[in-house]
Structure 1
């Protein structure tokens, strides 16, 4: 998903799709402040994945939230957060429903016999113990 709320300035040409994951148990604020004429700041909840577009020379500051304060806990160059472009193999729909390891269908048909295979249902019951 591209960043559409705060578009990059028109003079920025080398943008890339990036991803940051908050692997902590605390709320974080992700901020890019080294790009002139651009404001980027997002709250990232624990376990949340943040996907955004940024210039390759951007640096993301990670501020970890504490009670009524935040500490700058990391600065990450965005070139380390770049996502790989999806290949045409990722969108190959001809293999849907097949196990790529053994090429057996994931959902296999049941081999049923014709005839009466109905058996009585046995129900377990609870007894009270005093």
Structure 2
């Protein structure tokens, strides 16, 4: 998965794909600050689904606030936000074409 800014340092095999959803009615700033040589920060609007790559030991900080102030409102271990990568499972199993199309459509629905 491409991350336009601030790519993960090095290509370590323990990278995981994560998903965070802003289920509040406020704008949030999400950050990962505990990984050396890497700073990840994104804005999550209400209802926004953020899919990103990280490391299992990383902590996702959720900052919520108004105008010029924000407070650290929550912290989640990225390993708890991990989403399953169906592509590696599909490569191990041979499925009929119709099932592969169905899995592809389901994956698109998750990312939208």
TM-score (norm 2): 0.75
Relative distance call for 1:25 and 1:92 in structure 2 (3 A) is farther
Q: Note the residue ranges of structure 1 that are not aligned, 5 or more in a row.
A: 98-130
Q: Which runs of 4+ in 1 moved over 3 A?
A: none
* Distance in 1, Cα, partners of 2:5 & 2:67: 28
State the structure with more CA Rg.
Answer: 1
SS at match of 2:65: strand
Query: Relative CO higher for 1 or 2, CA cutoff 8 Å, sep ≥ 6?
Result: 2
**Counterpart Cα distance in 2 of 1:92 and 1:74:** 43
- Runs of 5+ consecutive residues of structure 2 not aligned to the other structure: 103-112
**1:30–1:60 CA contact under 8 A, matched in 2:** yes
Q: Distance in 2 between matches of 1:92 and 1:55?
A: 33
CA drift at 1:70: 0.5
Q: Which has the higher helix share?
A: 2
